[in-house]
Structure 1
Amino acid sequence: MVQETNDPIFSSAIAIRRVTPLYCRISFPDGTFSSDTPPEYLTNVNWFKDGPPEKGSLIKVLWDDGMEYAGTYEGTTSEQWEVSVIIV
């Protein structure tokens, strides 16, 4: 939730936690697109050790049907964070 203020000056804050899940955006050769693929479904990327792949990277996705499909990594969905404003 964004707190509106009449003061347009930015304030310092501490990120407390991410409040939205992180999903990958993937395009597939058949023209379909997914914007809700969990990072752990990428089989040729160790997301938690190496970080996310570069945008445009060819990746493999383990789908719900147990099959592995090739796709192109297009980034992640937007993240929303809970923050605590630091009052100076």
Structure 2
Amino acid sequence: VVGAVVSITGVSSTVTSFGTTVRSDLVLQNENHMFLDISLWSDIARNLNGQELAVLGRSGPVMLAVCSLRVTGATKGGYSLTSTPGTRCVLNPVSEM
């Protein structure tokens, strides 16, 4: 579970096989200044366009099935978390009061 997305830095790369896009890598930044490198399978990536990505920061919880997720922080010394395939990533979780 990651905090609210505040910016989309864009598609960092795409992976193709026989001329077909099979995976797209997106880089997001959340409110805690963590960078999220998210690899999406092509059917999910095709359904997300720039306009839809831009509203993630203002929307409610979004769950994505990702083929990989790497979280890096902008803290002194840094840190990194890498997921296993088949991870479900929740963006903009509802905070409990």
Q: TM-score, normalised by structure 2?
A: 0.30
Choose between structure 1 and 2: higher helix proportion.
Answer: 2
- Structure with bigger RCO (C-alpha 8 Å, 6+ apart): 1
Q: TM-score, normalised by structure 1?
A: 0.32
